[in-house]
Chain A
Amino acid sequence: QKEVEQNSGPLSVPEGAIASLNCTYSDRGSQSFFWYRQYSGKSPELIMSIYSNGDKEDGRFTAQLNKASQYVSLLIRDSQPSDSATYLCAVKSSNSGYALNFGKGTSLLVTP
């Protein structure tokens, strides 16, 4: 079973702080990695994608990938209350077609 693991949280951070979200995956053949944000009752929206080892920055978001450790993370700088949501880590494997394998998500709460 190919698994994607996330701490369910909730992760609570004060406004303006850095939120750090982590994800591990079991399939070493995984090639593409995604972070989605999902508000309650809504469908996921793509925040970041990352394909190679290292860091990728986009505005307040930084994705980090370490394939040797099978670990991917998302940092949110200057966290805002509007960032409060569930963050889903998703992995695409080489032999899964184009379907994504999702973690259960980490609930983030940014307190004013």
Chain B
Amino acid sequence: GAVVSQHPSWVICKSGTSVKIECRSLDFQATTMFWYRQFPKQSLMLMATSNEGSKATYEQGVEKDKFLINHASLTLSTLTVTSAHPEDSSFYICSIPQAGAFFGQGTRLTVV
């Protein structure tokens, strides 16, 4: 069964609105979770490292005020895309680091 549950699997939103994506670790206590983004025919690019009880660490070029990450418990991390624009349309995937990496199902975000 799934080790990491991500919700929603797809979402369409209007430009300028915000979207929240949830990532739950079902079998492990995850003090760390990772958020990746994948554009069509591109690789997974690490956006940020979510740290339970502390601030997330963002990769270079990722706007921390636009991509808000909250890791309030050992099993849940959320990514909120604020003031979404069409260029934010992508496949967002979370993972936990155990055993290589267990990935969530991914969220296909389309901003119209």
Residues of A within 8 A of B (CB): 4, 8, 32, 34, 41-46, 49, 88, 90, 97-105
Question: Which residue in A32, A99, A104, A105 is a CB contact (below 8 Å) of B46?
Answer: A99
B101 sits at the interface (CB 8 A)? yes
Residue from A42, A43, A88, A99 with most neighbouring chain B CB atoms (10 Å) = A43
Contact present for A44 and B44 (CB under 8 Å):
yes
Q: What's the Cα separation between A45 and B104 when bound, in Å?
A: 10
Residues of B within 8 A of A (CB): 6, 32, 34, 41-46, 49, 91, 93, 95, 97, 99-106, 108
Known A88-B43, A88-B44, A97-B32; judge A43-B100 contact (CB<8 A).
Answer: no
Contact present for A100 and B101 (CB under 8 Å):
yes
- When C-beta atoms are compared, the residue in chain A nearest to B6 turns out to be A43
Known A43-B93, A97-B32, A97-B49; judge A105-B105 contact (CB<8 A).
Answer: no
Contact present for B46 and A46 (CB under 8 Å):
no
Interface of A, helix, strand, loop or mixed by DSSP: loop
Question: Which residue in A43, A100, A104 is a CB contact (below 8 Å) of B42?
Answer: A104
Chain A residues with CB under 8 A of B105 = 42-43
Q: What's the Cα separation between A98 and B95 when bound, in Å?
A: 10
Contact present for A99 and B34 (CB under 8 Å):
yes
Known A34-B100, A42-B106, A49-B100; judge A104-B43 contact (CB<8 A).
Answer: yes
